[in-house]
Structure 1
Amino acid sequence: MLKNYFKIAWRNILKGRFYSLVNIIGLSAGIAFTLLIGAYIYGELQVNRQLKDADNQYIVLSKWKDPNMGYPLTTTAELPRALKRTYSNLVANYYRWDGVSSTVSKGDKHFREALQIGDSTMLKMYGFKLMHGDSRTALNDPFSVVITQNIAVKYFGKTDIVGQTINIENFKGGKHDFTVSGVLDKTPTNSVTDLVTNTGVFMSAGAANFMGRFMDGWNNTGIAGYVQLQKGINPKQLDKPMLDLIKKNTAPQIAANMTPYLVPLKDYYLDAGNGTVKRMIYTISFIGLFILLMAVINFINMCIARSSTRMREMGIRKVLGGRRKQLIWQFLTESVLLVLLSTLMAMLWYLIGRPFFSDMVGREVLGLFSFPLYFYLIPLALAVFIGLMAGVYPALVLSSLRSVDSLKGKLSIRENIFTRKTLVAVQFGIAIVVLISSFVISQQTNLFFNADLGFDRSYVVYASLPRDWSKQGIDHMESISRELKQIPQVSNVSLSWEIPDGANMGNTPVYLPGADSLRAQSGQILTTDNQYAATYGISLKAGTFFTPAFSPGDENKVVINQTLAKSLGWADPEKAIGRQLRMQGYPPNFVVCGVTKDFNFGSMKGRIPPIVFLNVNYTNLYRYFSVKLNGNNIQQSIAALQTGWNKLLPGAPFEYKFVDDAIQKLYTVELQLKKAAYLATILSTIIVLLGVLGLIALSVQKRTKEIGIRKVLGSSAAGISALFLKDFLVVVLIAGLVACPIAYLLMQHWLNDYTYKISLSFQPFVLAVMILTLITAAIIVLQTIRAALANPAESLRSE
């Protein structure tokens, strides 16, 4: 019997090819998009969950009463190790690391790589496998390194390279060969090897001395720390032991300000950065559910609308002895079969769309056959559920008709037009909300890139430098910057620790001499030379940006921005020139030599902070050359710059990036959301229009006789088209009236996260409704005009 149901269902699907195809394409698009979103969310939820003993793995974070004293992401260097030694009944293991970057060389290959100097416990504690090498001893030797597969292939062209060496440069300009003791197997995305950046080279803690770093000390608060708890231990049990250790061993100032706490690694990734990943998951989940809901409504609506054309078929079946139960099963079988076909097509869309979707969300989405077996039951269950939902109404209604009424084509039960129109209105409403959201997100994102940031980032490239953090190293780099500036294609060069991407040396309290330091203003420290303002086009409100030629007196000079000047009581920038200020942790008084116009050093999500510029000759710290090109021929300018770089800095890789790209990274989530909104807009519009196309075609088919009679009585083609337009456009307008306030509330809530934001105007709301109205009208006119122009004799003869 079931075989017969499927056979008849297949024949009916083929008989109505057009309607079946419209239904399948619309639903498959919604299912495919939902599956891609589900795969993305599944991948995000798996981060850190594949680590060995993941349920007991924790990262040690810090809360600071004074946020200028330390970083939330790090802890004191000794704390994780002391917890293991002192409270071994609570802590099973620990891991600490310090992240740096430096030049790595092999033969004529020189690249700047992310390095992680850490304890030898890493491999065992997290269960990271080695393709080659012994995990028990790989990180024991100070001059041994473990590298990833990518790094192995990059430098050696293969992975079986244990025993070979690579050369690493330290921050004093010294170089040393390191023996490759292990090559990591592919590791899942995690917050150990990929906490801040994707690390490629892992060094033992013993290498810290060579690199000029410190992995020990209770007052060293810049180390990332992790602990693995004993089974059954609650992290709250370590709150008091950690505070006791901090109070007993650290400096009083640290003990009074710092509170360490544990966060499960399984939760950390989702909650980091004020829950950026979690917010992205929620947002994209809602988008996916909206699209799926639209596709399901469209499918159900089409099934209900088309079912009324099969009344005579139901009557004949009843006359021939068909029972109501059999008729119900027939309808349900056809509906489920259509959804199963849509699901199969969705799988094909998934395979085609996965690379594009991965690019959109900035993360590799799992392949179709990479999920656990239970995952494949979800689309199957969804297909059966949607099929039953779509088929149950027509099955119950049509199977309940009397045989005489069915044979006459008479629907004795009143057709529920209101329900169908409501479903159509919901579809249009969702499409309007998505379209408005897309416009608003696009406008907000464009604001970030088109607004005046207070500096000129055009034609500026930056590149990391080999480190020699000494007076001689600074002199050498400033000499090279002057040489590079002589290149005709180069307008200016600046040596600095920062580029304007929001990452700086940290904050420090800034106050006037003799004032109470407790009332100090928190200032962001930027370390630059005297060419930084000229390179980035930062305007000065008063004074000079240090001095044109460096003199020893410049070491005690600082430049501040308008915001800091005002907060220190100098509303007139000119009054700040020559005045003194103090910074906590820096011994002398500094003299203000310049005040810059306020500029957005970081993201426009927050307000412009107080900023103080220190001279690189005072700190002896630097990371980058920022180079302003003349802009005539970018490729030619880059080539000339590379030639000069290779001549002046032999062995140092010239790995340049545009400042525009660095700024773009500040808005990664917004750009991903913008792409998702565009895709959702396209899909929702397609699904709505497919629904309109199918419903209009069915409506025209059912009203063929009416159209013929109207033509005979003198009605024009435009008048007939207007009948159908009126039905649908009223629904669109009602949907718009309901959807616009909902979209306004959603977008207003989203914009509240930003300090600098657009003002919501009527434009996106009016545009969204107009665009959808015009496209719908065009579809309706194209569908009805053919029937309206047909010979009425043909339509009347069909009856």
Structure 2
Amino acid sequence: MLKNYIKIAWRNITKSRFHALVNISGLSVGIAFTLLIGAYVWSELNVNSALKNLNRQYILQSKWKNPNQGLELTTVGPLAKALRETYPHLVANYYRWDGITSNVSKGDKVFREGLQVGDSTMLSMYGFSVLHGNTKTAFDDPFSVVITAEKAIKYFGKTDVTGETLSIENFSGAKHDFMISAVLKSPAKNSVTMLNDNNNNQFYISANNISYFGRNMDWPNFYIVGYIELQKGVSPIELEKPMQHLLKQNAPPGVAENLTPYIVPLNQYYLDANNGLIKKTLFALSGIAFFILLMAIVNFINLSVSKSAARMREIGIRKVLGGVRRQLIVQFLVESVITVLFSTIVAVFLYIATCNLFSNILGKEIPSLNAFPLYFIFIPAILIVLIGFLAGIYPSFVLSSLKAVESLKGKLGAVKDNVLLRKLLIGFQFGTAALVFICAYIITEQMQLFFTKDLGYNKDYIVSAQLPRDWSRPGVDKMETIRSQFAAMPQVSNAALSYEVPDDNNAGQVTLYRIGSDSAHAVSSQQFTTDEYYRSTFNIPMAAGEFFGKEGGLVDATKIVINEKQAKALGWNDPQDAIGKGVVFLGFNGYKAAIAGVTKDFNTGSLQKAIPPVTFVHVKTNTIFRFLSFKLRAGNVRESIAALQQKWSVLLPGTAFDFTFMDDTIKKLYTTEIQLQQASYTAALLALVIVLLGVLGLISLSVQKRIKEIGIRKILGSSVSAIIALFVKEFLSIVLIAGLVVCPLAYILMNSWLNAYVYRVAITGIPFMASLVFIGAVTILIIVARTYKAAMDNPVKSLRTE
């Protein structure tokens, strides 16, 4: 019997090729999109899943009384190690690292790379796979380095490179050969080697060499990433008092009194970081994929019912010859499952064909089919049965309920009772499409704000490149000389030496108070280490005074510059009142400095955060730097970059010219938001296609049912436009009702999303009106195209239709 059902189902599908093609296309697009988003969500949920003993792995985080005093992401240097050594019954293992960038070279190959200087416990603690070398001794030898297979191929063209050497530069400008002791299999995405999107270290050096880079992991240093592994059965709450005790016992008072350390499980850290932005995005994308799939299923239902007339005589004959309703239901369900089977096969091919495209759209790699576990093969099978049943259950029951006599006459009398349900289904499609369009519109407005809002400085034509380090006064003087030679180029209007660019990644915080006050009134602020050309290069307006001094003239490097927010925090509401006043730095042996100028407030990073207090310290006083930033003249940017690169090879031979435009730097701050925007665009397009197919199916059914009515209206003098308007009115009312229902929901969803940003767009009526008008206009075009022929037909022919 089943064989007979399948044979008949196949004949009906091939007989109505166009109908089958539309059904398969709509479903395959919906299923493919759902599979792509599902694969992305699965890959994000599996971040850190490959780590050894994951359920006992934690990262140390910091909560500061004043958020400007330190970073949440890092902790004091020795804390993780001290927890293991002091409380071995609680802590089974630890790992700490300090992230730096430096020039790495092999012969004529020179690149700027991310280095992770950390404890030798990394390999044993997390179970990273080693292709070559010994995991137990990889960090034992001095000046040894562990690299990934990707970097081994980059420098040597092969992976078996243990015993080879790479030259790595330190922050004094010196170079030393590091022997490769092990090569890691490139690890799956995790929060140890890839802490965030801006951090993907693939060179691992023992902390025994940390002094070579002029760094430390001492108690005053609270910019070290720390991890611990708890003993079995130990609860995180048991670490609270030990951590506080170690801080009070060892850390400087200013740190111990203001810092509350806490630990976060690595199995949830990635999703919960940045106020759960990743988790919210995954929920949003999952919701979009679910509704797109649901729209495709609804579309399948409407198209199936709209073709019911073609099957009526078949149904009538079956019933006259003794066919029972149960057999008809099974027949239609089999046809539905077969259609979904073909749709799923097409969807798999679409997945393969568009995997790279979606990776580019989302900005993150979508796993290929061979990346999934073998048991994932059951997911398409379950989808076929489930979607086939859900998509076919309504048409099968509707069509099988037709009376034999009416079926033989080709009448749709039994179907008309369910018009309301089909209108509700198409209304759901309209509502979903409107929701996606409204959300995409508002997300686009917020993204435009990110890139068009006055940031307080001018980012246009600014290029930044990282420098080799020589953090000494002679090193700074050398770089200032090099800076002046770059600034003299005809393609460059200005250049600045600094440790920071406005990318949310500064040297840390400084705490200071006014002379004449006391440390109880100290204010924490972000520290920017720059030269006197930084302000003019980034075009930061001054509120009062000068930016260290006149460019090209005598500059007092012992002075500082603050922004308006810092001036107000220190008690000067009028920026002019701060000029010439003295402040005392907490720590730094009570270093005192006078204020040379006050800048206007400017955004130092993402618009998720309010503008913080900022203190500018001159690079000749605080001799650290990372960037040369160039303000290019308007014109041929490509030629300007080529000229910079050529000049770089002359002034800084043997170093990599890795440059980044400020626009691209800012984009990195909004990686997740850009992913959501691109996904919403794709979803909006798919939603529009699916809803239009749904309209096509329902309007076809409506025209078919009312063909006699159309003939009578024409005989009675109705015009073609009036007949078309009759159908347009029916569908526009559905669009209007769907819009009224979905608009409040869209407002609630987008207002909740926008609340994560300190600087956000106001939600106006424009996105709602524009989305509904657009969907309504496209719907009208479809209706006109479908009803025009029926309205133009000879009314006599229409009246003869039975």
TM-score range, shorter chain: over 0.9
Q: Distance in 2 between matches of 1:143 and 1:431?
A: 59
| Change beyond 3 A, Cα 1:733–1:549 | closer
CA distance in 1, matches of 2:734, 2:99: 59
Partner Cα separation in structure 2 for residue 362 and residue 118 of structure 1? 29
Change in CA separation of 1:164 and 1:325 when aligned onto 2, cut-off 3 Å = same
Could you give the per-residue CA deviations for residues 435-473 of structure 1, whole angstroms, max 9, x where no partner exists? 111111111111111122121111111111111111111
- Pick closer, same or farther for the CA change 1:638–1:399 going to 2, 3 Å: closer
The answer for the alignment partner of 1:235 in structure 2 is 236
1:378 alignment partner in structure 2: 379
Alignment check: 8 A CA contact 1:96 1:119 kept = yes
Partner of residue 542, structure 2: 540
3-state SS in 1 of match to 2:308: helix
Distance apart, 1:761 and its partner CA: 2.1
How far off is 1:733 after superposition?
1.6
SS at match of 2:369: coil
The SS at the match of 1:283 is helix
Give the corresponding residue for 2:353: 352
Question: How do 1:756-795 residues align onto structure 2 when only pairs under 5 Å count?
Answer: 756-795=759-798
Deviates more, 1:726-735 or 1:380-389: 380-389
TM-score of the two chains, using structure 2 as the length reference = 0.95
* CA offsets 1:655-698 (integer angstroms, 9 cap, x no match): 11111111111122221111111111101000000111122223
In structure 1, what is the Cα distance between the partners aligned to 2:746 and 2:269? Answer: 32
Cα distance, 1:669–1:92 mapped onto 2, change above 3 Å:
same
Kept in 2: contact 1:119–1:205 (CA 8 A): yes
Report deviation, 1:155: 1.5
Q: Distance in 2 between matches of 1:420 and 1:696?
A: 11
Structure 1 position 261, deviation (Å): 2.4
Aligned residue type for 1:143: F
Cα offset, 1:781, TM superposition:
0.6
Whether 1:271 and 2:296 are equivalent positions in the alignment is: no
CA distance in 1, matches of 2:554, 2:210: 32
C-alpha contact (below 8 Å) 2:512/2:583 kept by paired residues: yes
Superposed, 1:286-685 pairs within 5 Å as 286-307=287-308, 309-410=310-411, 411-412=413-414, 415-548=417-550, 554-586=556-588, 587-685=590-688
SS at match of 1:491: strand
Q: Which of 699, 702, 719 is the aligned partner of 2:702? A: 699
Cα deviation for residue 533 of structure 1 reads: 0.7
1:626-655 per-residue CA deviation (whole Å, 9 max, x = no partner) reads: 111112221221122222221111112111
Asked if 1:62 corresponds to 2:62, the answer is yes
SS of the equivalent of 2:702 reads helix
Q: Give how far 1:588 is off.
A: 2.8
Q: Which amino acid aligns with 1:670?
A: E
Give the CA deviation at 1:402.
Answer: 4.0
| One-letter code aligned to 1:179 | M
Q: CA deviation at 1:550?
A: 7.5
- 2:545 and 2:597 in contact (8 A); partners too: yes
Deviation at 1:569, TM superposition (A): 3.2
Partners of 2:516 and 2:263 in 1: CA distance: 40
Tell me which moved more, 507-516 or 260-269.
507-516
Structure 1 residue 551 displacement after superposition:
8.3
Checking the alignment, whether the CA contact within 8 Å between 1:432 and 1:772 is kept in structure 2 is yes
Rounded Cα–Cα distance in structure 1 between residues aligned with 2:613 and 2:219: 30
Q: Return closer, same or farther for 1:64/1:401 CA change in 2, 3 Å cut-off.
A: same
Match of 2:18 in 1: 18
Tell me whether 384-393 or 50-59 shows the greater mean CA deviation: 384-393
Q: Structure 2: how far apart are the matches of 1:493 and 1:553?
A: 17
- Which whole-Å CA distance do the structure 2 matches of 1:450 and 1:68 have between them? 26
Please say which of residues 738-747 and 180-189 is displaced more in the overlay.
738-747
Query: Percentage identity across aligned positions?
Result: 54
Letter of the structure 2 residue corresponding to residue 647 of structure 1: V
Note if contact 1:556-1:588 (Cα within 8 Å) is conserved in structure 2. Answer: no
Change in CA separation of 1:413 and 1:274 when aligned onto 2, cut-off 3 Å: closer
Distance 2:120 2:232 in 1: 22
TM-aligned CA deviation for residue 60 of structure 1:
2.0
What is the Cα deviation at residue 565 of structure 1? 2.2
Residue deviations 1:465-507 (CA, integer Å, cap 9, x gap): 1111111111111111112222221111111011111221222
Deviation of 1:210 (Å):
1.4
Q: Distance in 1 between matches of 2:275 and 2:194?
A: 18
Higher mean alpha-carbon deviation, 584-593 vs 281-290, is at 584-593
1:32-70 deviations in Å (ceiling 9; x for gaps): 111111111110111111112222222222333344444
Indicate the RMSD between aligned Cα atoms, in angstroms.
2.1
Tell me if structure 2 keeps the 8 A contact 1:41–1:281.
yes
Deviates more, 1:431-440 or 1:508-517: 508-517
Task: Decide which of 722, 745, 749 is 2:748's aligned counterpart.
Answer: 745
Q: SS of 2:307's equivalent? A: helix
- CA distance, structure 1, for counterparts of residue 127 and residue 338 of structure 2: 46
The answer to whether the Cα contact below 8 Å between 1:142 and 1:205 also exists between their aligned partners in 2 is no
**Aligned amino acid, residue 740 of structure 1:** C
Deviation at 1:798, TM superposition (A): 4.6
**Residue aligning to 1:96:** 96
Deviations 1:285-335 (A, max 9, x none): 121122122222222222334335533322211111212221121121112
1:362, 1:672 within 8 Å by CA — same for their partners in 2? yes
Cα pair 1:22 1:694 within 8 Å, conserved: no
Match of 2:207 among 201, 205, 208: 205
By how many angstroms is 1:412 displaced? Answer: 5.0
Counterpart of 1:44 in structure 2 is 44
Going from structure 1 to structure 2, the CA distance change for 1:222 and 1:750 (only over 3 Å counts) comes to closer
Partners of 1:681 and 1:266 in 2: CA distance: 33
State the distance in 1 between where 2:444 and 2:66 align: 37
Q: CA 1:713/1:512 → structure 2, altered by over 3 Å: closer, same or farther? A: same
Match of 2:464, SS state, is strand
SS at the partner of 1:385? helix
CA separation in 2, counterparts of 1:251 and 1:535?
A: 37
Residue 83 of structure 2: aligned partner: 83
Q: What TM-score does the superposition give when structure 1 sets the normalisation length?
A: 0.96
Verify the 8 A CA contact 2:548 2:557 in the aligned structure 1: no
Partner of 1:141: 141
Distance change in 2, residues 1:560/1:239 (3 Å): closer
Secondary structure of the equivalent of 2:204? Answer: strand
Partner of 1:20, secondary structure, is: helix
Moved more, 348-357 or 435-444: 348-357
- Which stretch shifts more, 226-235 or 198-207? 226-235
- Distance (whole Å) between structure 2 residues aligned to residue 68 and residue 702 of structure 1: 69
**1:549 shift after superposition:** 5.6
Q: Which amino acid aligns with 1:316?
A: I
The alpha-carbon deviation at position 92 of structure 1 amounts to: 2.5
CA–CA separation in structure 2 for the residues paired with 1:751 and 1:69: 27
Residues 241-260 of structure 1, C-alpha deviations (whole Å, 9 max, x = no match): 33333333333443333333
**1:623 CA drift (Å):** 0.7
Taking the aligned partners of 2:274 and 2:146, their CA distance within structure 1 comes to: 29
Secondary structure at the counterpart of residue 493 of structure 1: strand
Cα deviation, 1:610-629, whole Å, max 9, x if unaligned, reads: 21211111101111101111
Deviations 1:689-733 (A, max 9, x none): 011112222333333343334334443322222222122111112
